[in-house]
Structure 1
């Protein structure tokens, strides 16, 4: 926003509570207000509009700008003409609704040329919907800036006192760059002993400083009920998870409306979305969420909606004191000092449990055990994650009707359940590394299942036929299922994009097709003849085959016109030049070509037609030369000729001279 510009400029300053939005706006106001005919800093618009109303606030603002204490007709043509003649600097601090902006700026404060308006808000959507085109986000202070600000408040100097260096670093770590938190901590700790500092910092990790908590909580209190529930769920269960995964689970909960709810949380700076689309929460906001839930029943964790404190969870589960108030549990057992032995009815009273996550990253290898088995869980479960689950099946009567995701990595399950369940909400199943799993139930009712991960289920011999007819299945991972002998679908799958069978060493028969297939891994299997039905793999981009493969149909491979990565290993039957000639003419999208431990006599000249080729790996191939046409591959950056014993060193040196950009490997 240029101060000298003739336009009426409007600047928005946005960020979560305590970030210094008001301080920044005040600094700009103090520096430039003398350059304007009139100026006014309207503090606390959110609170003032509640106390005196927008009309009174508008009257006060116009009176100050026009320097007219007797103004009565704010909407009169004369008043509006006077406003349009002055060059004013106006700050509206802490605006929280777009209606405030519309009433104050668009409808009643039509200022003269070169006037400037600065608006601070915790809600980006309020600014954008109010017509603010330039929005500045106030971000956390850097470490050096945080330390200096803290020290001025704690020690009245720019650096820590001797003996307080480590404690100062801990305080800065706690505040995480939020100026308000840094100032409050500095003032609170000022003139206290090192023992008092250590005690206070430990306390604040469990019970937030209320001066900080109350400022941050303003944004939470401004949310509607579904948005508040979404925020608390993210803070307790989904911090650091992908946005689309969170939406998938929360949308299965009644009246959550997760997509727009998450957008609202982002606009209010209560969450951030990283570049890889993961939802993050500032540590102080995380602590605020935990304090909000503690307030539900401070002395009775069994009466709270969400639990994540390991000691409180242990007490509730060991004593079977759970109630219908509990909606979610996430157990972080890093503080376990022994195995946790629970009674069979530990979860029985939690009739409204929606989320359950028990991690396997246990300190010392401790686990949650059920000496007398386990009774069923709540029928309200949407998300079930129990890594290293020790029982051989889920409890009798387990209801998966509302489940969206099942994660049981490294479990002892032999089978999940008997019979057919209504699984219409189920989207994801992860049973990877469940080495005792022998069979899968009938999934014919799981018509919305998208992801199935069965990696290294080493005793799994077959796949229930219902799985290979699911219309929305996108990813199927069976890598390392070493006893799986065949995979045979009666009809092509409609949505399958990723199929991984790497390391299925007993697999001899493969007949699965999908027009949507993008990635297919068939390496390290016992498949001897490749069978890719022409017309069903036109979108395939990545193909890995080899080990015991004896033959393939050239027409099948040449039909893969979208292929970007081709990986063939241990093919000793010989790939003659004529076959490669046909493939190179068809594979114009190829970016990586890996022919490892293959009997390749000669590379044809038309390799120069692979204009997008970046990597060429011919490791341990029986190859004596490469064609000169390879020098025309401008994108080629890596050539691997390792252990090509017949390849002449002089030819390699000559090749380097014509493709300077490529990196060569020859071990």
Structure 2
């Protein structure tokens, strides 16, 4: 149990009394005092003495006020939009704003303002979430269009539709609204500094030249099949998340969305099923690509082989197509070029062969080919994956592992549930 230094005991008791014994306030303020001078402790006590005991907001805000400007911005982003989101995805958009997210997140964690799960998700106590949102609302109580973040869809919708947006607004959530309306270029012209946008169903209408020029995150669910826009150019986009029945290989929005050299994350959830992946040749700095769809038939566009910086590739089928005359291809061509890949997951797809070129993916740490019902053998070149820590072939008809698998010195987990392997021989 950590205790304060002997000469800090009295002041620590006073601080505990002034927080009203509120566990969260004690945790947040206590961690912010760790390692600080006695004068800093006294200054903090003085601030608490100015705050009535019942005002939780002002007690917690003391720790917020200790943050540097970029740390405050990240704290507010998480409180308003990003609870539960993946830490690495968010780091890309914060880097695009010239922040140093790894450092800032470490500070927020040490001050108990956020928590990071073992799966890299961001968590925040409800009271701290409410603190962040209250801070944003107080930016202008009477005029939401002058607040930096609008997370309540109805308020955001009214601001956009009434053309009351200002250059103060940097983030909008426009979901769970009437499906029959569209947003115009004139409405978005009032929002020149928008960097986060969450849409659902809505279409975009008009000439978007020089609009959304600072957008780094676009999440669009139930995208429309047609876009009624011209000159939509998302050059600063870092994270793109698309879903819906209209996301096909011919979707008209690909050209506008896949033109950013800054694009680091793409997540596609196609409910109708892509037949072929789109052209990725303009987003060569992509780090993470996730495709989830309802069919297990997919052709990989050759441009995928150009993604030399790709670290995470995930292709998941939730469908049950029984056709066996199609393959996931050209996998061999793709594998030979993805030298930076550390995580490869292909699940439920029509994959007949794992090409020997996979041996060139020497940074691979996690390989999963679960439920690929046509995959029967593995290449000997798998022995070259010296950094591989976890491998899974659950639900495949594989009968035998290559003799070279014993050379995988870093392997910690091997999953073979529902395969045809009856015996594992150790090879050294």
Select 2:268's aligned residue among 423, 428, 431: 431
Q: 1:437 to 1:278 in 2, by over 3 A?
A: closer
Q: Deviations over 1:539-578 (max 9, x none)?
A: 44314176566x868445555553631427565xxx79xx
1:581-620 to 2 correspondence within 5 Å? 584-586=425-427
1:405 equivalent among 234, 239, 247: 239
Map residues 577-656 of structure 1 onto 2, 5 A cutoff.
584-586=425-427
Determine the structure 1 residue equivalent to 2:114. 271
Match in the other structure for 2:343: 498
Local SS of the residue matching 2:158: helix
For 2:2 and 2:262, locate their aligned partners in 1 and report how far apart those are by CA, in whole Å.
54
2:34 to 127, 139, 159: 127
What is aligned with 1:639? none
Q: Distance in 2 between matches of 1:371 and 1:332?
A: 14
SS of match in other structure, 1:329: strand
Residue 306 of structure 1: how far off its partner (Å):
0.9
Aligned partner of 1:519 among 355, 358, 367: 367
Counterpart in 2 of 1:224? 68
Distance 1:434 1:14, change over 3 A: farther
Over aligned residues, Cα RMSD in angstroms? Answer: 4.3
Structure exhibiting the larger radius of gyration computed from Cα positions: 1
Residues 249 and 236 from structure 1, CA distance in 2 versus in 1: closer, same or farther, beyond 3 angstroms? same
1:351 maps onto 2:195 in alignment: no
Aligned to 2:285: 448
> How many Å separate the matches in 2 of 1:14 and 1:282?
23
1:27 corresponding residue in structure 2: none
Corresponding residue number in structure 1 for 2:43: none
Query: Which whole-Å CA distance do the structure 2 matches of 1:261 and 1:125 have between them?
Result: 14
Structure 2 Cα separation of the partners of residues 438 and 316 of structure 1: 39
Change (3 A) 1:2 1:317: closer
SS of the aligned residue for 1:454 comes to strand
Tell me which residue corresponds to 1:311: 154
Residues 420 and 443 of structure 1 are in contact (CA less than 8 Å); yes or no, is this contact kept in structure 2?
no
Task: Say how many residue pairs are matched.
Answer: 395
- Which of 60, 63, 78 pairs up with 1:234? 78
Aligned residue for 2:240, secondary structure, equals strand
Name the CA shift for 1:446/1:536 in 2 (closer, same or farther; >3 Å): farther
Q: Distance in 1 between matches of 2:419 and 2:100?
A: 52
1:380 aligned to which of 192, 198, 214: 214
CA separation in 1, counterparts of 2:276 and 2:227?
11
Q: How far has the Cα of 1:225 moved from its partner?
A: 2.4
The superposition leaves residues 430-478 of structure 1 with CA deviations (integer Å, 9 ceiling, x where unpaired) of 1023425344443244343222111226386421223234233222222
| TM-score (norm. length: structure 1) | 0.50
TM-score by length of 2: 0.74
Matches within 5 A, 1:34-433: 122=29, 124-130=31-37, 184=54, 211-254=55-98, 256-273=99-116, 278-331=121-174, 333=176, 336=177, 338-339=178-179, 341-345=181-185, 346-358=187-199, 368-370=201-203, 375=208, 378-392=212-226, 396-410=230-244, 412-414=246-248, 415=251, 416-418=253-255, 423-433=260-270
Decide whether the 8 Å contact of 2:275 with 2:298 is kept in 1.
yes
In structure 2, how many angstroms separate the alpha carbons of the residues matched to 1:13 and 1:463? 64
What is the alpha-carbon distance in structure 2 between the residues aligned to residue 266 and residue 123 of structure 1? 13
Tell me the distance in 1 between the aligned counterparts of 2:126 and 2:401: 57
8 Å contact from structure 1 (residues 243, 278) kept in 2:
yes
* Corresponding residue for residue 531 of structure 1: 379
Alpha-carbon distance change, 220 to 386 in structure 1, aligned in 2, over 3 angstroms? same
Unaligned runs of 5+ in 1: 25-118, 133-179, 185-210, 359-366, 588-667
C-alpha distance in 2, partners of 1:510/1:393? 38
- Which of 1 and 2 has higher RCO (CA within 8 Å, sep 6+)? 2
1:521, distance to aligned residue in structure 2 (A): 0.5
CA contact (8 A) 2:222 2:243 kept: yes
8 Å CA contact 1:438–1:459 kept in 2: the answer is no
Tell me the SS of whatever aligns to 2:266: strand
**How far has the Cα of 1:307 moved from its partner?**
0.3
Structure 1's 219 and 473: CA in aligned 2 closer, same or farther, altered over 3 A?
same
* Cα shift at 1:236: 1.0
Stretch deviating more after TM superposition (401-410 or 263-272): 263-272
Q: 1:308, CA displacement in angstroms? A: 1.2
**Which of 565, 571, 587 is residue 414 of structure 2 equivalent to?**
565
CA distance change for structure 1 residues 391 and 585 in 2, over 3 Å: closer, same or farther?
Answer: same
**Which residue of the other structure, out of 477, 481, 486, is the alignment partner of 2:314?**
477
